[in-house]
Structure 1
Amino acid sequence: MNTLDWEGKVGDEIRTVFGEHQVGLPQPETLLSVSQIDPSGFKSFVRETRAILLVQKGEKEGVVVKKNKYSAPQILVYATAKDDEGLINLIKTKGKDMMHTFQNADIKFLQSLFKKERLADSNFKTLKNLGISIDIPKRFKLVDDTGDFLWLRQHLKSGIARGDGTNNILIYSVPLEDETKVADNITAVRDTIGKKYIPGSKEGMYMITEQAYTPFTFETELDGKKAYETRGKWEVKNDFMAGPFLNYTIVDKKNNRLIVFEGFTYAPSVNKRDFVFELEAIAKSMKIK
């Protein structure tokens, strides 16, 4: 967009809408990272960027989405209005839809990469027993697979102050008892699982939901089924380890159970948004038979 507009009220509105923070992270991080370039510099390799928002003035007001115009995969969103006031209103009313368009494209891009290097579902007793197919990249290594509970871990090699950080995936199921209470019980269920399966370094230490921070739970859909997305922070009881978690609790009425996917990150000295976003892309590839 025009540099003058970027430095004025139109740019302020973009920074407000696109500067929304991702919930559930220990430090403030925006949902998307945004940088501006003037139309005069929009050429050569810049045009091949994967996600582009073009803000422009014109008679035909509205938002148009195009794909793969200069490279692939690529998503271009054209936001057009007659004047500054129109652009501000357009970004205010349609900005979240634009963000979701970019996020969904990023998820599909990551999933296409993970599908090429996925672990075989048949390698894991728990996935077979639960009738689950999911695209988890091979860099995740097995920690525990009981037949009822699966734990996979990826070691994060760079930028971590205290040893290797990790990205972790948990998959398990619990009985569906009262559908009206599913959302209220998510924290209690994950704390029970943490105590049983996720130990700390010493006796009496195990993973719990951070008590000083209330998780955010949203109703959503996964694999065509009603689900709840919960974002919050975990900690180890009686220890100083902590980080963000992402939990999807899926209502599988057909089998009278809840399927739970949880991802959690331990990366004490770096930003964690992108690690959690990878876990989200993996979770959303899940298919329940």
Structure 2
Amino acid sequence: MKKIGTLLTTILLLVVLSCKDSGPKERFLPPSTGGINSLMVVMDTELWKGGIGDKIREHFAAPVLGLPQREPKFTITQVPPQVFKGATAYSRSVLFVDQDTLSLAHIKADVYAKPQRIAIIKGETYNELAGNLDSLADKAISSFKQVEIAEAQKRFKRSLNKDAALQEEFGIDLKIPSLYKVGRREKNFVWMDIQIPKGTMNIVAYQLPWNTFDNDSTFVSDIVKIRDSIGKKFIPGPYENTFMVTEKAFAPYVFPAEIGGKKAAEVKGIWEINGYPMAGPFLTYIINDKENDRKLVLEGFTFAPSAEKRDYMFELEAILRTISFNSAPEKLQ
């Protein structure tokens, strides 16, 4: 009997220790699903057809700035709450709107899948719902964009370009898909591109002296002048004496940004070919690299006539945002 008691005590001790070592187990979540920049809107269909639906479209289907044609920030699919279950609930970006006595507006992460962001809007009256939507919209769009950028990066990081041109010229690393190839490399200039249906996606990099933009009042016009000079020198059009410039009819949009842990200016606009009918969108980051006494310029641009360009430009942004600074480049002469 004493041996049996000792055995039971030992077993009980092992069970306790096993439970103690294992700790709380993380809840399993399936991988989220959905196309890049897709948004699942979960709300009553009648509510969707009314003023609240209009307000959602006003915020989340607003046109993307810097594109030559009107394209929405998100491709929206609306479903009623009773349909939001099973695989439908695994959508990566979700906006849940409910007419309820409780009034709230917040964002939850990884509820039904991972990664996932769900923006929840509740309110009893139209004014409450509309006010909560207005108050959360910018934060929700930013949160959705972050998770979409991460998803785009995860997809193209599976197979990366191993060319050392950017490292050797500028001391930087970019996670660029392997199908991109270096098309032109010169002192202080690298151009990479990839063929897409009926066009190309392009990445260029160059550096400028630290004091290039000293006058805030002429900042935008100075950006245009520099872009045009780089285009004339390095980015030719299809015929002699044709080259890339900034579209003359509209000034580019400029926003503050942070990229690679450094402050930057984000510039969005339209490029065109001087002397030839070609055009498309561009996205430029002018990065304040004080440690290396320079402004580092990264730009992505797309040529895809008669095609939607939102997702092409979004992928270019996702690529540019992978930048890391590895070593000091040669000083500018």
So what's the TM-score if we normalise by structure 1? 0.92
Cα 1:166–1:280 change in 2 (3 A) is same
Q: CA deviation at 1:224?
A: 2.1
Equivalent position SS for 1:36: strand
Q: CA deviation at 1:179?
A: 4.5
Count of residues paired in the alignment: 281
User: Are residue 168 (structure 1) and residue 202 (structure 2) matched?
Assistant: yes
Q: Which residue of 2 aligns with 1:57?
A: 99
- 2:203/2:301 contact within 8 Å kept: yes
Q: CA deviation at 1:147?
A: 4.4
For residues 225-264 of structure 1, the aligned pairs below 5 Å read 225-264=262-301
CA distance in 2, matches of 1:125, 1:263: 16
For residues 92-131 of structure 1, the aligned pairs below 5 Å read 92-120=134-162, 123-131=163-171
Q: Which residue of 2 aligns with 1:267?
A: 304
- Gap regions ≥5 residues in structure 2: 1-42, 327-333
Q: Which residue of 2 aligns with 1:30?
A: 72
CA distance in 1, matches of 2:136, 2:156: 31
Q: Which residue of 2 aligns with 1:186?
A: 223
- 1:126/1:148 contact within 8 Å kept: no
Q: CA deviation at 1:207?
A: 0.5
So what's the TM-score if we normalise by structure 2? 0.80
Pick the aligned partner of 2:118 from 51, 76, 80.
76
CA distance in 2, matches of 1:276, 1:142: 19
User: Are residue 134 (structure 1) and residue 168 (structure 2) matched?
Assistant: no
CA distance in 1, matches of 2:322, 2:262: 13
Q: CA deviation at 1:33?
A: 1.7
Bigger Rg, structure 1 or 2: 2
- Gap regions ≥5 residues in structure 1: 158-163
Q: CA deviation at 1:127?
A: 2.5
1:226-250 CA distance string (max 9 Å, x none): 2111111001110011101111110
Q: Which residue of 2 aligns with 1:149?
A: 189
Pick the aligned partner of 1:4 from 38, 42, 46.
46
CA distance in 1, matches of 2:157, 2:238: 34
Q: CA deviation at 1:172?
A: 1.1
Equivalent position SS for 1:241: strand
Q: CA deviation at 1:126?
A: 3.6
Q: Which residue of 2 aligns with 1:40?
A: 82
1:114-142 CA distance string (max 9 Å, x none): 3222222xx23343231101111112122
The worse-fitting range, judged by mean Cα deviation, of 75-84 and 134-143 is 75-84
RMSD: 1.7
Q: CA deviation at 1:165?
A: 0.8
CA distance in 2, matches of 1:67, 1:9: 27
CA distance in 2, matches of 1:200, 1:79: 49
Q: What is the percent sequence identity of the aligned residues?
A: 35
Q: CA deviation at 1:44?
A: 2.6
Q: CA deviation at 1:31?
A: 1.3
- 1:186/1:249 contact within 8 Å kept: no
Equivalent position SS for 1:195: helix
- For 2:235, give the aligned amino acid: I
CA distance in 2, matches of 1:283, 1:187: 20
Q: Which residue of 1 aligns with 2:132?
A: 90
- For 2:114, give the aligned amino acid: A
Q: Which residue of 2 aligns with 1:161?
A: none
- 2:106/2:136 contact within 8 Å kept: no
- 2:105/2:133 contact within 8 Å kept: no
- 1:140/1:154 contact within 8 Å kept: yes
